[in-house]
Chain A
Amino acid sequence: MTGLLAALTLQAGYNATLVTLGAALLGLAAGATGTFLFLRKRALVADAVAHATLPGVGLAFLAMVALGGDGRSLPGLLIGSAVTAGLGLLVMEWIARRTRLAEDAAIGAVLGSFFGLGVVLLTVIQTMSAGRQAGLEGFLLGSTAGMLFQDGLVIAAGGTAAVLATWLLRRPMTLVAFDPGYAAALGYDVRRIDLAMMGLVMAVTVIGLKVVGLILIVAMLIIPTVTARFWTQRAGRVVWIAGAIGGLSGYLGAAISASAPALPTGPIIVLMAAGAFVLSLFFAPVRGVLASALRHRRFQARVHRRQGLLALARHDPIREPFTLRLLRREGLIRPDGVATDRGRAQAARVLREERRWAEARSLHQDTGLTGRYDGLTPIEEVFTPDEIAEIDRRLGRPFAVPGGV
């Protein structure tokens, strides 16, 4: 526990601190970049790209060993993974454009074959004397244990660059995700912007290999974004909220992982983000499950109230227990079901509203305004005072509550 506290407050040593900050920056970059991936509806492409990094890791290791090097140098491995990930992306693009296969088929084909090749290469490397200690399997689920200072630096620098590039391209990427036809008409090169977006995703994937791992990196691109969607309706804010959620998840996850080195880092970071998602799902205002349940209850109460008052005005019996309870609670009827003075007054108002609406609908048959008649919207919100005066004039006499309610 003290280990965790030390890691959270960045007191767990120089390396652990750098790794934790690197993971936070990576989460920020993944959340921000992933927003555009999500809005462009290409999350699965990113998953395939992530799986296509594995053969690159294996090949880079083999190449570095063959050249007499260490083989474990992180920059070398990342360059190798970027090469095969880029290749996988181009193959998917090519299949989707040049053949009759749909994009999902291309995703499946690339993900499966590249990942398969990667696993074979990794198995071969395990049999080599230089490979046994390489820890390449850490790239699958992420492992910050034994990370070097330079590794943390690479991740932090890459994350910063990805965040800056996302900020720079935010407007074209938003436009292309929302309305690619309009973007093209404005003169934006839609294909190049899409490629730039996938390039950013690839960069985040590659620098996230060591921390999150290739299997779960897509979760860090998507979960923060769908979480942020619960909190705002504007793409510009989704980007930064998602970045904040991603960054916080990376920070907490890496800190926990530093204090418990036996656990894989990636899943812990992803679980942090998933926790934020679950909290938002239930408790976000407006869009959360709880808020919408409350809203639905309020709506039901409004309907019952309106129907109850109309029934009072028309001397119809009220049988719904919920309606009776509601009217009684608001003091509109007495416990024996007879309307109070206030109940009669409100019933008269509701009846007048109904008659006004009926008149309005015959007056304005084609204006679209009458389409807003839902039995609940006050007429003053739809028509102007002079229009309502005209409606009242046509209705003729002033209203009196039908006697003896």
Chain B
Amino acid sequence: MTPGPLSVAAQDGRLLDSGAPPPDSPLAIRGLTVSYGERPAVFSVDATFPARAMSAIIGPNGAGKSTLLKAALGVIPRVTGEVRVFGTPVERARDRIAYVPQRASVDWDFPTTVIDVVQMGLYRKVGLLGRMSGAQTRRAQDCLARVGMADFAPRQIGQLSGGQQQRVFLARALAQDADLYLLDEPFAGVDAATERAIVEVLKLLRAQGKAVVAVHHDLSTVRGYFDHVFLINTRRIAEGPVATTFTAANLHATYGGRLAVAQLDALALAGAVP
């Protein structure tokens, strides 16, 4: 079955269920509502992310982008909603998901080294009583090399630049060897070389048949990096392929007056601002 109406701005207050989620979608969300206190941050959102693709979640500040991701993962509780990962409830698909949280969410003075952080991605596989095997240690080292940080393994994490911190988080996710990668603002506050390195790693994952979903804030790179886009402002505004969904009309519906006409012009989008 086809996922709900694509590339069309949804009507406000749309509460109708768009049907059962397609079983092959790496991440399908139905009727998700999350609230902080009594203020919903995400309201009755449906989303269906495609397989073997890079998807961006975009929207203004405070629109619920990160909240959507965290609630889908169960990091924060949801009021209502169903989340399926490759057709199974998210709680039973943990080993297929790798999560890259926001860099600012942890204390970088924590007494730990780069390689220790990457090995955290293997904790579930090692279990409570197990020992980290030689193969697993090598695997963590390989993942560091994939993000260009092989020489940083013994370094204390407080001595890293912002871009290097982000790479370490990505390496930790790679160590999980998952099928779905969820990233929260992976390019926020990183240098240009790190951004290129991360994009390369993500594109390689896509080429290997994995799905990548990233909360993204830089509209100017959406077309260059992503295949699929999900626009949110508390409610779902639109979702679909970048070519047909990343339009001036949808961006206006998402950002309202917060996006100046000049910014839209700079994106050289199809379609006029309404």
Contacts and interface: CB of A to CB of B under 8 A. Distances in A.
Interface string A106-124: 0000000000000000000
A39 B110 contact: yes
Contacts of B126: 171
Nearest to A364: B193
B36 interface: no
A321 interface: no
A179 B101 contact: yes
A366 B111 contact: no
Contact of B120 (A39, A179, A234, A366): A179
Nearest to A186: B124
A186 B193 contact: no
Nearest to B106: A179
A276 B97 CA distance: 45
B70 interface: yes
A175 interface: yes
A235 B110 contact: yes
A239 to B, nearest CB: 10
Interface in B192-247: 192-194
A55 to B, nearest CB: 34
Nearest to A38: B111
B156 interface: yes
B163 interface: yes
Contacts of B94: 185-187
A175 B172 CA distance: 12
Contacts of B97: 185
Contacts of A233: 111-113, 156
Contact of B193 (A178, A185, A368): A368
A389 interface: no
Interface string A232-255: 111110100000000000000000
Contacts of A368: 161, 163, 191-194
Given A39-B110, A233-B112, A368-B191, A181 B120 contact: no
B170 interface: no
Nearest to B97: A185
B193 A182 contact: no
Contacts of B75: 181, 184-185
A101 B99 CA distance: 32
A178 B97 CA distance: 19
A235 B111 contact: yes
User: Could you say which interface size class chain B belongs to?
Assistant: 20 to 34
Interface in A163-202: 168-169, 171-172, 174-175, 177-179, 181-182, 184-187
Contact of A178 (B73, B99, B110, B194): B110
Contact of B99 (A169, A172, A182, A235): A182
A177 B110 contact: yes
B11 interface: no
A377 interface: no
A185 B110 CA distance: 20
Interface in B97-156: 97, 99, 101, 105-107, 110-113, 116-117, 120, 123-124, 126, 128-129, 156
B111 A187 contact: no
B91 interface: yes
Given A168-B129, A175-B123, A368-B161, A184 B110 contact: no
B189 interface: no
A229 interface: yes
A169 B91 contact: no
B128 A171 contact: yes
A367 interface: yes
Contacts of B105: 179, 181
Contacts of A366: 192
A187 B193 contact: no
A302 to B, nearest CB: 19
B74 interface: yes
Nearest to A168: B128
A185 B112 contact: no
A367 B196 CA distance: 11
Interface of A: 39, 168-169, 171-172, 174-175, 177-179, 181-182, 184-187, 229, 232-236, 238, 366-369, 371
Given A171-B126, A368-B193, 8 more contacts: A174-B112, A178-B107, A181-B99, A182-B99, A182-B101, A187-B124, A233-B156, A234-B111
Q: Sorted from nearest, which 5 A-B pairs have the closest CB atoms?
A: A185-B99, A187-B94, A368-B191, A233-B156, A184-B75
12 contacts: A169-B128, A171-B123, A172-B128, A178-B112, A178-B117, A179-B105, A181-B70, A185-B182, A234-B116, A368-B161, A368-B163, A368-B193
